[in-house]
Amino acid sequence: MRIHCPHCGERSLDEFSYLGDAVVRPDPASPNAQEAFYTYGYERSNVAGPMQELWYHAAGCHAWLVVTRDTRTHEILEVKSAHEVALARQKVAGTAQ
């Protein structure tokens, strides 16, 4: 399996570490934080198909990446910088308010 790092280019899997589901971390200040964190921590979905995951380019540029991977075939469908994803999310949240 090879991952195309948006910063470094295509690299072998052994340069990356896997964290897991790229689901958004709940807001610890929200009133239902305890429940939300329970769901976040323990009630993960076991996707058969394309899933967004966090990967870390540990032996490369040290950037966190959001990788869309098909869990059945290991096909990598998309790779984005996690930083960019977070900024885009903030922007969306900002316009929604």
Complex with another protein: residue 25 or 62, whichever CB lies closer: 62
**Angle 56-3-58 (CA atoms, 0-180°, nearest 5)?**
25
Size of the site for another protein (CB under 8 A): 14
By a kind-dependent CB cut-off of 5 to 8 A, residue 26 interacts, out of another protein, Zn ion, none, with none
Question: Both tokens of residue 47?
Answer: 């996707």
By a kind-dependent CB cut-off of 5 to 8 A, residue 9 interacts, out of Zn ion, another protein, none, with another protein
Q: What is the DSSP string of 23-90?
A: PPPPPTTSTTHHHHHHHHHH-----SSEEEEEEE-TTTT--EEEEEEETTT--EEEEEEHHHHHHHHH
Q: Show the site string, 5-24: x = touches another protein by CB under 8 A, - = not.
A: --xxx-xx-xx---------
Complex with another protein: residue 33 or 59, whichever CB lies closer: 59
Kindly list the residues in this chain that would bind Zn ion in the complex (CB under 5 A).
5, 7-8, 57, 60-61
